[in-house]
Amino acid sequence: MSMKNFKPTGLNHITLRVNEIERAEAFYGGLLGFKLEKKMGRSMAVYRIGTDSIVLVEAETSYNRDSKDYRVDHFGFTVPKPEIVDEIASFMKENEVTILSGPANRKNGRFLFISDPDGNMIEIFNEA
């Protein structure tokens, strides 16, 4: 089964869990030269790359650098209308997909977080 209305207009952002936000900011903002769009508290930074973003969030538990697992927190798809977020939520529920959060409003839009079969978190997002 597929959802015909799910035609994202882009990959809005990728969120990375980092061990130390200051060190990550020095890498992405300093070394790579990405433009800091905004800080969200002390543990989150958003860097704009063209029309997309990389979001850094300091993890509650440190990543073991010897591990073969990597630390992508989630990725987010943009949809053109807020109603589509709700349509997708209904579709996911009908198909027994795990809904982690939402659908709900936040300051700059409407969102839904779901989980794929392997536990990867996906955000469906409409920006107001």
pLDDT, tens digit (0-9, with 9 covering 90-100), for 77-99: 889 999 999 999 998 899 899 99
CA-based nearest residue to 121, from 87, 97, 94: 97
Q: Which residues on neighbouring strands pair with residue 54, listed in sequence order?
A: 14, 47
CB 104 within 8 A of CB 78: no
pTM, two decimals, is: 0.72
| Domains present along the chain, CATH in parentheses | 8-74 (3.10.180.10), 79-128 (3.10.180.10)
Q: How far from the centroid of its chain's Cα atoms is residue 69's Cα?
A: 18
Give the span between the Cα atoms of 30 and 39, in whole angstroms: 15
Confidence of residue 44 (pLDDT cuts 50, 70, 90): very high
For tokens 């839904």, what's the residue?
112
